[in-house]
Structure 1
Amino acid sequence: MQIDNAMAELGPIFAGRVSRAPAILAQHGQSETLAASGRPDAVVYPQTTEEVVRIAQICARNGVPMVGWGAGTSLEGHALAVRGGVTVDFTQMDAVLAVYPEDMLCVVQPGITRERLNEELRATGLFFPVDPGANATLGGMAMTRASGTTAVRYGTMRDNVLGLEVVLADGRVIRTGTSAPKTSAGYDLTALMVGSEGTLGLVTEVTLRLQGQPEAVSAAVCAFPTLSDAVDCVIATIQSGIPMARIEFLDTASVAACAAWAGMDLPAAPHLLVEFHGSPSGVQEQAERYGELAGEFGSSGFQWARAAEDRARLWRMRHQAFQAILASRPGATAMVTDVCVPISRLAEAVAETHEDIARGSIPGPILGHVGDGNFHSVLLIDPANPAEQAEAKALANRMAERALRLGGTITGEHGVGSGKIGLMEAEHGLAWDVMRQIKQALDPANLMNPGKMLRP
C-alpha cells in the first residue's frame, strides 16, 4: 500500500477536503458498539461522482483500500478501516437530485439522511418510509440493506431502492436499475449492490421508491403480563391480517430503561408499541381490531397517541432505546446483536434467548421490530472485563445459531461487517464462496472495504 503516493495525488485535487489529522482519523475509527477497531490513513470528502472516480483511480493505482462512510451508525464495524487506507466520507454529497411525484420516486446523493429527505419531501405529500431508528444516511442504509420499525408494512431497503449509480474499484461508473416499476432485463445488479456493505463499489446516487403520506395516523403502547403474551399477540396480529405500520416489542428491562430515559410512566412489564396508517375510518377500525386482539392476551394500560407531538414522543422513546439501555448500566459498553426468524418461530426464539441471557451474568435487554420476526439484544458489558466480553460474544453466537436452527438468519438488519463474518458459512455454505468469486471479479485487488462480510 502506497498511501503517501496516493496522498500526493489526492492533496491537490481535494485541497481542504482531505485530512490526516489525528482527531479526524479517530472520529472515523470508532463504532457505536463493541466492534473491531480500525482507523483510516486519510479521510477524503468528495462532492461529485467525478471526484469519487478520481479517488478510486488513484487508490487503485497505489493499492490503497477504500471504505465508504455515511453517518457512522452501523453496529457491526462496517465502516471501520480495518486494513487502513482512505475513508471516503460522503457527508458533502447530500443533495436531493430529483423528485418525480407522479412516479412516486426520487433520486438522492448518498450522504443525505433519511430525516432530512423527509423534511424536503413534506410539501409533495410523499415520504420515504424506511426507518432504522438512527438518522442514517441513505447511502449507508442502501449498503447495509437497512430495515427498521416500519418494515412490517413498507419493506426494507431491498424493497425501496430502484436503482443505483456505483463507482467500481477501478473507477468505472455503472448504473443499475431504472425508474420503471419492474424489469426482467438481465441480472439484478441493484439487488446485488444493496446490502453489499461497500465491498463491491462506492454508491454515488440512489433512486428510491416513495409512499403517500397517510391521511390519518394513530399509535399506542400497551403492557402484557408476560413476554410470551406480548410475542404471541404479535404473531396473532400479523396472522389476522391487521395492516400494522409498526409493531415493536420491548421486554421488561428495555421498558424500565426507556421509561426512565424519556420520563414516561410505564409499568414494569413487556410492552408493544404499535402504529396504524390510513384513512380516519380505516385507522379507527384497525385500532379497534388490534385492541380486541391484544385484550385476549391480557394487555393493559393502553395509551393512545393520535396527536403528532404525542406520537413523536412515543417513537422518540423507542428510537433512543439504545442510549437509554446503555445508561442503565453506567460505564458499560454494548454488543448489540440481531437475528430474524419466521414469524411462526418468533415466540420460541425470543423465549429461548431470554432464558439464555437470564442464566448469564450480564444484562441483555431484548427489543425489536417483531412484526417481521426481527429482534435485538443489547448485551451490556464492562469494557475492561474480558470475561464479560467473552460471555457477550458467546451469547450473540448462540442467538445466531438458534435463529438458523429455527429457519432464520444471523442478522435481519444490522448486517455482517467484521462482527459476524465467523457465522456466514453456517448460514450460506457454498454460496459464501460464490459471494467471494463475485467480489474477485469486481474487485480483484480487494480494495473495497476489505475485511468485511467475505471469507478472509
Structure 2
Amino acid sequence: MNPHSHTPPPPLSPVLIAALRERFGERFSQGDSVRLQHGRDESVHVPMLPDGVVFALSTEEVAAAVRLCHQHNTPVIPYGTGSSVEGHVLAPRGGISIDLAGMNRVCHIHAEDLTATVEAGVTRTQLNTELKGTGLFFPIDPGADASLGGMTATRASGTNAVRYGTMKENVLQLTVVLPDGQVIKTGTRARKSSAGYDLTRLFVGSEGTLGIVTELTVRLYPVPEAISAAVCAFLSVDEAVNCVIQTIQLGVPVARVELLDAVTMGAINRFSKTDYPESPTLFFEFHGSEAGVAEQAETVQALAAEHGGQNFQWAARPEDRTRLWQARHDAYFACLQMQPGCRAFPTDVCVPISRLAECIHATNEDIAQVGLKVALFGHVGDGNFHLVVLVDPDSEQDMAAAEWLNERVVGRAIDMEGTCTGEHGIGLGKQKFLVPEHGQGAVDLMRVIKRAIDPANLMNPGKILPPA
C-alpha cells in the first residue's frame, strides 16, 4: 500500500556524505540492510529506504546532522524502534534517517515532583525498570516496547489510557531540534503554565514533521496500593461492549478495560499457550486501595453478569496479571501467526463512548462481507478499537478488500464525531481522511504551521498532510 506515486529521489550530495562520514564515522551507514531496516515498519506499506542512517548519541549530534542536511536540502526522518503501523519512518523522498535508539539515558528522576526527564530513545519498559524502588511508575503502555520519543511523536496511548490519559496529558517538557538544526526547549517541569503558546502540545503528535524530539519530561504516578485484574467472556461482542459503556458511564475508575473478539482470543490461546474461552472477552484491571479495588471489582462483576458475562476469573497475583497482560500485548503478533506468510493491514478508530456499541456492531457486519481473516480488539474504555486485517500484500483482491473495510470503518467513525485514528497516527496511510475529519480550513492551517517551521519541507516529508 503506497499512496505516494513518486520518482526515485536524487542521490545524496557527495559533499554531504563526506561531511556525515567525517562527523559520525562508523555511526553513519549506507549499507543496504541498515537502510532496509530504517525504511519499513510493521505495516503493509511498500518499503521506502533512506539514503543513509545516522546513529545519534546526543541532542548535539542530532542537531549537527540536521544542520548538514538542511545545508544540502536533504530530508530527515527520525527513527525510534520502527514499531509504527502507518508508514511514519518510511522515506518517500530518500534522505537521512536519524536513529535515536542510542539516546537512552534516564537523565533525572524527580520522585518528589512525580516527573522523570529522559532521552528520546528510552523505552517505556526501560523507564519503569529504572523506577523500581521509587514507588512510582510511568503508565502509558501502547503494547510495543516503543521509545518515549516515538510515543511523543505519535501521541501514543494504550491500555492504561482510560485512567491515566495519553502522551498528550503526560508530557510536560520537550527538547526539540528544529529543521535548521536550532535546539529549543518547550514547557517546564511545573504542572501547569499560562505562558505563551503551548508549543509542547504542538510537537506532541507531529510525527517528526516539525522537529525531532530528543529529550522529554513526563509525569509519573504512585504505584497503586492494590491492583487486581480479571477476565470475563461474553456470548457476543455487543454484550461485552454494552458492559463497558455502562461501567464508564457509572464512573467506575477502571485502570484498563480491553475487548478482544473470538478470533483474537483463539489466536492468543495458540500463541501464548493459554486456555481462555474463545469468545468475545473483556480484560479488566483495577487500581487503588484494597477497599477501593474490591468495590470496583464487585461493581464490574455485577455489571458483567447483567450483560451475560460468564466465567469471571480473577488474576490477583502479580505473575498472573503479568501473564494476562502479556497475552493482550501479544495479540498483534498472535494474529499474524493465524495465516503464515501474510502481512497485517492494521487500522484503528475512536468514537464517543455512547456510539461505541453501534460502531463495533456495524464494523462486524462489514467484516462478514470481506472474506478475509480479521481480528478486532482495543482499548474500549476510551472508545478506541483496532482491526488487524490479514492480507497477502501481493494480492490486489486482498488489498482492495482491506482498503474497503478501512474506509468503511473510518468513515463511520468520523460520521459519529469520532476520529480516523485513536493512537496509530496519520503517517502515510491515513492522509486522505484528514480533511473529512477536520475540514479543509483546519488542514490549511496545519499547512501554514508546517511551512512556517519547515519551509523547505525537509522534516519527515510526505507524512500527515495530504498531497496539495
TM-score range (shorter-chain normalised) is over 0.9
Whole-Å separation in 2 of the counterparts to 1:107 and 1:59: 28
Question: Partner residue of 2:382?
Answer: 372
Task: Report the Cα offset of residue 42 of structure 1.
Answer: 0.4
Q: Deviations over 1:368-409 (max 9, x none)?
A: 000000000001111221110111011111111000011100
Match for 1:102: what amino acid? E
For residue 15 of structure 1, what is the amino acid of its counterpart?
G
- Code of the aligned partner of 1:34: V
1:265 aligned partner: 275
- Is it true that 1:291 corresponds to 2:301 in the alignment? yes
Question: Is the contact made by 1:36 and 1:418 (CA closer than 8 Å) also made in structure 2?
Answer: no
Match of 1:441 among 446, 452, 455: 452
- Give the counterpart of 1:310 among 302, 320, 341: 320
Name the residue aligned to 2:196. 186
Number of residue pairs matched by the alignment: 456
Residues 160-204 of structure 1: CA distance to partner in whole angstroms, max 9, x if unpaired?
000100000001111111111101111110000000000000111
The secondary structure found in structure 1 opposite 2:370 is: coil
1:177 corresponds to which residue? Answer: 187
110, 114, 129: which is aligned to 1:104?
Answer: 114
- Are 1:281 and 2:291 an aligned pair? yes
Task: Specify the code of the residue in structure 2 equivalent to 1:162.
Answer: L
Deviation at 1:3?
A: 3.6
Tell me which of 88, 100, 114 is aligned to 1:78: 88
Partners of 1:440 and 1:446 within 8 A in 2: yes
1:251 equivalent in structure 2? 261
CA deviations 1:39-81 (Å, max 9, x no partner) are 0000001111111111111000001100000010011010111
Q: Answer yes or no: is 1:454 the counterpart of 2:438.
A: no
* Percent of matched pairs sharing the same residue: 53
Residue 124 of structure 1 aligns to a residue whose secondary structure is coil
Could you give the per-residue CA deviations for residues 349-383 of structure 1, whole angstroms, max 9, x where no partner exists? 00000110111111111100000000000011112
The residue identity in structure 2 corresponding to 1:269 is S
Query: Aligned partner of 1:433: which letter?
Result: D
- Aligned match of 2:39: 29
Give the superposed CA RMSD. 0.9
Are the counterparts in 1 of residues 257 and 380 from structure 2 also a CA contact under 8 Å? yes
**CA pair 36-437 structure 1, distance change in 2 beyond 3 A:** farther
Which residue of the partner structure matches residue 3 of structure 2?
none
The equivalent residue for 1:61 is 71
> TM-score, normalization: structure 1?
0.99
**Could you tell me how far 1:5 is from its partner in structure 2?**
2.0
Code of the residue aligned with 1:215 in structure 2: it is E
**Quick one: distance in 2 between partners of 1:14 and 1:268?**
52
What SS does structure 2 have at the residue aligned with 1:225?
coil
In the TM superposition, what whole-angstrom CA distance separates every residue of 1:192-217 from its partner, at most 9, and x where no partner exists?
Answer: 00000000001111110100111111
User: How far apart are residue 279 of structure 1 and its match?
Assistant: 1.2
Runs of 4 or more consecutive aligned structure 1 residues displaced over 6 Å after TM superposition: none
Q: Secondary structure at the match of 1:14?
A: helix
8 Å CA contact retained: 1:3, 1:41:
no
Query: What secondary structure, in the 3-state scheme, does the structure 2 residue paired with 1:367 have?
Result: strand
Q: What is the DSSP-based 3-state SS (H/G/I as helix, E as strand, rest coil) of the residue aligned with 2:98?
A: strand
Aligned to 1:242: 252
Structure 1, 54-63 or 381-390: larger mean CA deviation: 381-390
For residue 329 of structure 2, what is the amino acid of its counterpart?
A: H
Q: Give yes or no for contact 2:36–2:47 (8 Å, CA) kept in 1.
A: no
Q: How far apart are residue 347 of structure 1 and its match? A: 0.2
